[in-house]
Amino acid sequence: MWDTPRRGMLEAMDQGLFGPESVTWQLHADPAMWIAGISSLFFQALHPLAVAGVVQNSDFQRDPLGRLFRTADFVGVTTYGSTEQAHRIAAKVRSVHAVLRARDPRTGDEFRLDRPDLLLWVHCAEVASFLSVVRRGGYPLSEAHGDQYVNEQRRSAALVGLELEDVPGSLAELRAYLRSIRPQLRRTDDAMTIYRFLHRPPVKLPWRLGLPVYQPLAGHLAYSVLPRWARAHYGKSAYPPAVATSMLRSLRAAMLAIPRRGHGPHIDAAVREFGADVLPSPRRLPA
């Protein structure tokens, strides 16, 4: 950790929403987050209205990598950027959601995409996926770390328009929320559209050359690490749990071993701002 003068200097600077001593700062840098991000999209698609909003409003078929990269950018900016940067990117997201509408495929009723119950589902599905997948990949998270992460992520939920008191602030509250919403989740035609898309996105060259690697090591692996009950809704085969865990850990280890010049634009910017002491690492998780 930093010595007292260094800590005092950092505390006087704008460290963004979370800061270098948060669980969020450490966790979001882990390479398993890429699989966790894809898995969260499978998970979110089980909510009939949430997925209808995506299918009816998104250009993901024409821009197959766009949503994943935009989500990654949002997570990167809100985690490692300044407070002003986080609020600026969140304002853009809220302005888009505020004007979007979709229709319930069963009733034909129109609904807003920024309905609090839909925003809450997307938030909780994402947080639960990030925690479970990264931990399953071998990241050393304790229950206390999990509680702190869920509580920290309420700040992200507030950015998209939710009230803090309506958002789970602990693992117990998150698990209770997921139990309560399970009766609303199911397989739909829209969910299967997302299932097929995430397994084989319609990318163009040169990305298409990577599909034989992407499908087993990313798309199907991300599906396979969903909770068992979530996979049961899809009704599609998955890697056996032990195989999926082994694959995830091997992939994470391989990604950690790859030599690289930087750690991504958002982390690199934070390191330039605050110094190498803030480089994310499991070793810097709060005691």
Q: Is residue 162 part of a domain?
A: yes
Of 123, 124, 129, the closest CA to residue 34 belongs to: 129
Q: pLDDT tens digits, residue range 113-162?
A: 999 999 999 999 999 999 999 999 999 999 999 999 999 999 999 999 99
Can you give the residue range of the structural domain that contains 115? 17-277
Q: Is residue 282 part of a domain?
A: no
Strands 110-112 and 101-103: antiparallel
- Average pLDDT over the chain, rounded to whole? 93
The answer on pLDDT for 10 being more than 70 is: no
- What distance in Å separates the CA atoms of residue 48 and residue 207, rounded to the nearest whole number? 30
pLDDT of residue 9: 52
Of 169, 140, 139, 165, the closest CA to residue 153 belongs to: 169
Q: Is residue 59 part of a domain?
A: yes
pLDDT of residue 5: 46
Q: Is residue 36 part of a domain?
A: yes
Q: Is residue 9 part of a domain?
A: no
- What distance in Å separates the CA atoms of residue 145 and residue 38, rounded to the nearest whole number? 23
Q: Is residue 7 part of a domain?
A: no
Q: Is residue 4 part of a domain?
A: no
What DSSP letter does each residue of 40-98 carry, written as one string?
HHHHHTTSHHHHHHHHHH--TTTSTTHHHHHHHHHHHHHHHS-HHHHHHHHHHHHHHHH
- What distance in Å separates the CA atoms of residue 56 and residue 12, rounded to the nearest whole number? 45
What is the number of domains present in the chain?
Answer: 1
Q: Is residue 112 part of a domain?
A: yes
- What distance in Å separates the CA atoms of residue 238 and residue 226, rounded to the nearest whole number? 9
Tokens 């931990």 label which residue? 135
